[in-house]
Amino acid sequence: MAPRTALMFQGGIGVVGLAAIALFGIPVYYNGVSPATALFWGLAGSVATYAVILLVSRLPGLVRDSLESQLEQLHRFASDYSWTVLIALSVFAGVGEELLFRGAIQGWLAQHVHDAVAIVLASLLFGLVHYLSFTYFVLATGLGMTLGTVYALTDSLVLVMVWHGVYDMIALYCLRRFPEWFGVRVG
C-alpha cells in the first residue's frame, strides 16, 4: 500500500469516528485528566503494554508459534515505509481509532448498556478489525479492553489516544529495528 493511501485510510477512520460522534450526539470525554497527566500516563501505559506484549510474544509454544507469520508481515510492513510515515501512521491510528472505537462505538454503547458491556463489545470489534490470526485477535482485543477501561476510568480520550499512538510507534520501531526479538528472520 502506498504511504499516501495508508495515511488516508488511517485518517479516514478518524473522520468516520468524528462523523458518528456528531451524527449520533455521542458524548466524548477528554477533560478527565490534565493534558500533562494524559501525556504521562499515555506514555507509561504504552511502554508497559508493549513490554507485556513483547514478553507474551516471546513465550515458546502456542503464542509465539501462532504469531510468527503475523510478526513477519508486520516487520515487512514497517520496513516498507519511512520513519516519517510510520510516525504519522501511529499518530493517525492513535487519534483515529480511538475516536472511532472508544469515542464513537464505546461511547454510543455506554448510552445503552452497562459500561463493562460497552467496553467488551467495542474491544471485540477492535480485535476483529485487527484480525490477522486468532492469537492476534486475542491480543488486539486485550489492548482494546485496556484502552476502553482506561477511558471509562479517566474520562480522557486524549490519554488513550496518546497510549495507542505511542504503543504503535514502539511496536513498529521494534519490529523494524529489532525483528530478532520476535523470532523474525531477516534476509
Q: Where are the domains of the chain?
A: 31-182
- Reference 70, options 79, 57, 59; nearest CA is 57
Dist. CA 21–CA 28, nearest whole Å: 8
Dist. CA 5–CA 88, nearest whole Å: 12
Dist. CA 16–CA 97, nearest whole Å: 10
Helices 134-154 and 157-177, packing angle to 10 deg: 150
Backbone phi, then psi, for 12, in 5-degree steps? Answer: -60, -35
- pLDDT value, residue 63: 64
Q: Are 95 and 13 in contact (CB under 8 A)?
A: no
Q: Which residue has the cell 497510549?
A: 163
- pLDDT value, residue 135: 85
Q: pLDDT tens per residue, the chain (187 residues)?
A: 788 998 999 999 999 999 999 999 999 988 889 999 999 999 999 999 999 988 877 777 666 667 778 888 889 889 999 999 999 999 999 999 999 999 999 999 999 999 999 999 999 999 999 998 888 899 999 999 999 999 999 999 999 999 999 999 999 999 999 988 877 887 6
- Reference 91, options 55, 42, 124, 136; nearest CA is 42
- pLDDT value, residue 186: 79
- pLDDT value, residue 64: 64
This prediction has a pTM of: 0.93
